[in-house]
Amino acid sequence: MKAEKIWMDGKMVDWDKAQVHVCTHAFHYGSGVFEGIRAYETENGTAVFRLKEHIERLFNSLKIFKMDISFSKEEFRQAIKDTIKVNKLKSCYIRPLVYRGYNDLSLNPFNCPVCCTIAVWEWGAYLGEEALAQGIRTKISSYARSSINSTSQKAKICGNYVNSIFAKMEAIEAGLDEAILLDTRGFVTEGSGENLFWIRNGVIYTTPTATVLEGITRDSIIKIAKDMGYQVQEKYICRDELYISDEVFFSGTAAEVTPVREIDNYQISEGKRGPVTENIQRKFFAIAKGEEEKYLSWLDYI
């Protein structure tokens, strides 16, 4: 993973020189917020997928975590495009990070400066090319999603991801690809870095957003599926409903649309990508690659 330049507080810095002090507040306490965005190669050049919505969510994260920055939404949007351009990437993953920098170490973050960075790099299929075509193997995590009064799920806070890392380590050590976390009551929430969908009798379901990140891919899929004529509903379910679903898939910027073919040793959808998942996946990629007139407003050309 490497590109040429990283944007740091308005300046393009060489990738290898984009460093911070070890006493950076966020390094110790996870006091930062970030985004994950993708840009795809289209016939008319590189386009960032739903950039406006990602910037909106970043600024909401900043508000929730009480961080002020001097850049406007428009300046941030331009900085992201500039960073892609300067790195000469046709398609890439984009990682804006706003974090509490170095001044004092203590849990009071307010004396530490707020610093902004944008890194971009080439990132192929999150869980491998085969995962997109064949589906992945998962387990219900023994770690519960952080309880609703422990943190904010609406804010994409760095420290939130320790919960996801525990779940991910457990899944990998069990020889699996990904974890599905329940909330503290036992209701299904999401993957370590993905929202979750399941399909029963032709209806597409996903979890309500109170206990999960308000995924932008999730929102896109709900809209795409409705336009394709599917019924989409939000629902709290227990793990057993996943076991008997016709199809299950993850959605996320990094994961895109990744089919799930196994949960806790239960085979889902004949152990391969299901037909509804495949339809939605195909449509999603066509839209991201600028092949669907109707959704061109979701693309921001650089």
**Does residue 216 bind ligand PPE (CB under 6 A)?**
yes
x-or-dash string of contact with ligand PPE, 188-207, rule CB under 6 A: --x--xxx------------
Q: How far apart are CA 254 and CA 238, in angstroms?
A: 26
Report the site for ligand PPE in 36-55 (rule: CB under 6 A).
36
Closest to ligand PPE by CB, 112 or 213: 213
User: For 226, phi and psi rounded to 5 degrees?
Assistant: -65, -45
CB of 44 to ligand PPE, least distance (A): 24
Q: How many CB atoms lie within 10 A of CB 276?
A: 20
The answer to whether 44 and 292 are in contact (CB under 8 A) is no
Residues 6+ apart with CB under 8 A from 7: 13, 79, 80, 82, 83, 116, 117, 118, 119
Report the site for ligand PPE in 225-284 (rule: CB under 6 A).
251-255
**Does residue 177 bind ligand PPE (CB under 6 A)?**
no
Kind of pairing between the strands at 37-42 and 92-100: antiparallel
CB of 73 to ligand PPE, least distance (A): 17
CB of 156 to ligand PPE, least distance (A): 7
CB of 101 to ligand PPE, least distance (A): 21
Q: How far apart are CA 278 and CA 283, in angstroms?
A: 9
**Does residue 96 bind ligand PPE (CB under 6 A)?**
no
Position 143, amino acid: Y
The answer to whether 195 and 250 are in contact (CB under 8 A) is yes
Q: How many residues bind ligand PPE (CB under 6 A)?
A: 17
Which of 96, 101, 135, 215 is close enough to bind ligand PPE by CB under 6 A? 215
Interface with ligand PPE by CB under 6 A: which range of 215-223, 234-242, 268-276, 283-291? 215-223
Find the DSSP H helices in 30-121: 51-64, 73-86
Q: Which of 5, 81, 139, 156 is catalytic?
A: 156
Q: Which residues are catalytic?
A: 156
